[in-house]
Every structure is written in C-alpha cells, then in structure tokens.
Amino acid sequence: MKSNLPRSLQATLIILILVGFVMLALGGYFGGITNWFGKITVGSQTWLSSRFLAISDFLTVPRDMASLRQRNIELEADVARLQTQIIELQQQVTQTEILSALVDFARTNPENTYKAAAVIGRDPNPFLRYVIINVGSNEGIVRGMPVVTQKGLVGRVDAVVSGAARVQLITDQISAVNIILKNSKTEAILTGSITGSLSLGMISHDVIIEPNDVVLTSGLGGDYPPNILIGQVVSISNPEDELFQSASIQPIVDFSHVEYVLVITNFQPVDITPLLPTPNP
C-alpha cells in the first residue's frame, strides 16, 4: 500500500514523534517503563551470565585440575629438592663448625703442626676401638703420631697406608696413656677397656684423688705430647686389699661421634724400649 503523504511530511512527522519521545523521556514520563525494561534486561543478563559461567566451569575445571595436579607435582619436586639442599647445607654448616673449631684449636696451640682428617670407618671387630682416617703416608703421616680433636686426645696412628691410616683410640683395650691429674699432680696410667670406658690405674693409696680432677697427658714414655686434655675423674675406687687405687674417667671426646680429627705431625714418638731394663738370666 502506498502512502498518500509526501515523503518530506513523513520524515517531519517521524522526527517530531522522536523528539516528542525524547522530550517525554527527559521529562521523566517513561521512568516506570525504563525501570521495568531495565529489570527484565538485568535479570536476563544475570541469568545468562550465571549459566554461561556454570557451563564454562563445567567444561574448564577438569582441565584446571589436571594442570593443578601437574603444578602440584612440580611444586612437590621443588620442595623435595629444596629439602635436600637444606640437609646438604646443614651438613656443610656442621662440617664447617667442626672444622672451624679444629682451626681454632690449631691456632691456640701453635707449638704443634696439624693435619686435618675425616674419620671414614671403624674397625669391623667390636672388641677393638680403632678408626680409619682419610690421610696417610702421602700426607706425611707416620705410625705413632698423636691424634686429637679440638676437645682433647683421641689416640694415635697405629698403621699407615698411602691414602689412609688406622688410629688406635685411647678407649681401646690395649691402649695405655701416661697421664697426670691436674689438681693433685699425680701421675698414673690411663687404660681403655673392652666396652670403651676409661680408667686410671697404678695410683698409690697415699694419693688423694678428688672427683672432677682434670686428666692431662703427662708426656712420660714419649708416646704423646704433654698437657693434652683427656677428661675428668668421675669416681674413685680405693679397696684396701688392692695394691693401687683406681678411678673411672669421663672422656672429653665423644668417641662414638668423632667425625674429624687433627693429626699432630711434628711430634715424633720416642721408642724407649731399648732403654728398658731387661732381666738378667
């Protein structure tokens, strides 16, 4: 159907209607309608958005779980690696502390020269108290050299090969060390035992020994340098029917956890065997 109005009049009417709508809208006459329309639009948008998100989550969560699991595995691996690093660093700190203490000991005792060594093994026989250290004749170690830690006397070198040495601890059963008690100025012989405990023997009944008296090497016999700390007197046994009194000693060195030692390399033990009197036939 063709309109009877000319096109210019149609355009003018449309413009006037639109301007009228705009004027009515600006005048607030369409408030109810716009509110109603807005509610419907926002409600629809909210519903559509929430459904879209639900479907999106449903489709994407499994993929996220897989990636999260992968990430979790990577993080667990990182944690394990970092824990290993922590343990290694703690070991290094411990080693550094021990070596630092050994260096301090060497500085405070400049009269001797030392060679540091790590304890790499123990005697396979439980009756013997020997340790194996990782320095040997290549480093100038010879049999008889005293071995100490920063705390005190450990023992002496018993056998040497090119890259290692075997050290007899003072707790060994056939070890004997000439000692002096610091307070009572009494000399005695320190012996080990089959269980690793230390005891003093050959002490006259006339001598008064007190607990906590400090035990030092005396240097007699030429096996060890003098004045190396060994331990303290713990208890005294003074039976009347025995020729000598004896005492138990608490060693200053924890022999079950010796990890690093110092070999005193400038001390040459003296072999006094030829000087000992031999019985005449």
Residues in touch with other proteins (CB under 8 A): 120-128, 130, 132, 158-159, 166, 168, 172-174, 193-196, 256
Distance in Å, CB of 136 to other proteins, minimum: 13
Distance in Å, CB of 191 to other proteins, minimum: 9
**Residue number with CB closer to other proteins (167 or 180):** 167
**Residue number with CB closer to other proteins (15 or 194):** 194
Distance in Å, CB of 123 to other proteins, minimum: 5
**Residue number with CB closer to other proteins (70 or 94):** 94
Q: Which residue has the tokens 């006397």?
A: 153
Distance in Å, CB of 135 to other proteins, minimum: 16
Distance in Å, CB of 106 to other proteins, minimum: 26
**Residue number with CB closer to other proteins (103 or 118):** 118
**Residue number with CB closer to other proteins (13 or 174):** 174
Distance in Å, CB of 131 to other proteins, minimum: 9
**Residue number with CB closer to other proteins (165 or 180):** 165
Instruction: Name residue 263's beta-bridge partners.
Output: 115, 147
